[in-house]
Amino acid sequence: MIAFGESASAELAALTGDEVDVEALGDRIRRLSAAIGEQAERLSKARSKAAKRLARDVETAMAELHMGRARFEVDIRQQVAEQGVPASLNGTEPQTYAVDATGIDRVEFLIAPNAGEALKPLGRIASGGETARLMLAMKSILSNADATPTLIFDEVDVGVGGRSGQYVGEKLWRLAQTHQVLVITHLPQIAAFATHHLRIAKGERDGRVVSRVEPIGMSERVDELAAMLDGLPVTEVSRQSALEMLRRVEQWTARQSEAPPARQAVLTGDA
């Protein structure tokens, strides 16, 4: 009976206490909204500063990747909502903004791939190759803050010539210092930077076409790069060109001796 009385008293207190008092709950909501608004305001201001630096660095990286005079911008907007949190942005009077777990900002990446074009949402206008190279540019800038362990790049060489391919290969190699990087490429200038080379070949089995992926050694790698450079059959001249390319990459990577070992794999062949 004593235990039942204590349980009933606790239940009564829960039913009549502050937790179900409308006025007390309203006051608690206002306090929490103000606290969330202060944190969201600080986060929004920090994002705005970071967005300007990111846009500048991405445009520089895109130029290095020979994407022409492409422009990049980070668009940050907020939505006024009656059921939101209060915040004062850019010195304006406090307003109530919609909020979720990421804050009060709605962030969108905008790109103008060619000079004279207007900035438009990246996801709506960028081609596969442009998206891959833009992701490479961003990942190379944000590599220290990115917790994604493995990155896969496909079509990163679309529209890229041999000279530009070397810059792409260098950026991929640097990115591989902090991530595992898988690259599917048809460009030998990129494939030469990999520490592991996998060849993709298509064949027929039981009446169906299947793809086979196999790691290749140094001699096979030279032939694969030679074939990528000059086609089949592989000649001694193209083989020497492939060896020279590998030697040049080896010399370049040796000069980056302060970096830890790279973890970059490349896939070539009939992808």
Q: What is the DSSP string of 65-114?
A: TT-TT-EEEEEEE--EEEEEEEE--TTPPPEEE--BTTBS-EEEEEEE-S
What pLDDT is stored for residue 89 in this prediction? 85
Query: What's the pLDDT band for 17 if we cut at 50, 70, 90?
Result: low
Does the structure show a pLDDT above 60 at 151?
Answer: yes
Provide the CA 155 distance to its chain's centre, in angstroms.
15
Q: What is the pLDDT of residues 18-38, one digit of tens each?
A: 556 777 778 888 999 999 999
Which residue from 72, 177, 216 is spatially nearest to 130, judged by alpha carbons?
Answer: 72
What pLDDT is stored for residue 258 in this prediction? 61
Q: How far is CA 193 from CA 102, 199, 201, 205, in A?
A: 38, 15, 21, 33
Does the structure show a pLDDT above 70 at 270?
Answer: no
Q: Which two tokens stand for residue 255?
A: 């000069």
Handedness of CA 253, 254, 259, 262 (dihedral sign): positive
How confident is the model over 142-165, as a mean pLDDT?
78
What pLDDT is stored for residue 205 in this prediction? 87
Return the axis-axis angle of helices 128-142 and 22-64, rounded to nearest 10°.
110
3-state secondary structure of 213: strand
* Mean pLDDT across the chain: 85
Question: 79 and 40 in contact (C-beta within 8 Å)?
Answer: no
- Residue spans of alpha helices (H) in 176-263: 188-191, 218-230, 236-255
Candidate from 53-67, 196-210, 212-226 with smallest mean pLDDT: 53-67
Question: 44 and 76 in contact (C-beta within 8 Å)?
Answer: yes
Does the structure show a pLDDT above 60 at 156?
Answer: yes
Query: What's the pLDDT band for 262 if we cut at 50, 70, 90?
Result: low
How many CA atoms does the CB half-sphere of 196 hold within 13 Å? 14
Question: 44 and 103 in contact (C-beta within 8 Å)?
Answer: yes
How confident is the model over 185-200, as a mean pLDDT?
91
How confident is the model over 216-234, as a mean pLDDT?
91
What pLDDT is stored for residue 267 in this prediction? 72
How confident is the model over 164-192, as a mean pLDDT?
89
What pLDDT is stored for residue 227 in this prediction? 92
Task: Cis check for the bond before 233: say yes or no (omega within 30 of 0).
Answer: yes
What pLDDT is stored for residue 98 in this prediction? 93
Does the structure show a pLDDT above 60 at 271?
Answer: no
What pLDDT is stored for residue 264 in this prediction? 65
3-state secondary structure of 204: strand
What pLDDT is stored for residue 18 in this prediction? 57
Q: Pick the residue with more confidence: 161 or 255?
A: 255
Q: Which domains does the chain have, with CATH numbers?
A: 1-126 (no CATH), 127-271 (3.40.50.300)
Query: What's the pLDDT band for 225 if we cut at 50, 70, 90?
Result: very high
Question: 176 and 151 in contact (C-beta within 8 Å)?
Answer: no
What pLDDT is stored for residue 263 in this prediction? 64
Q: Pick the residue with more confidence: 147 or 264?
A: 147
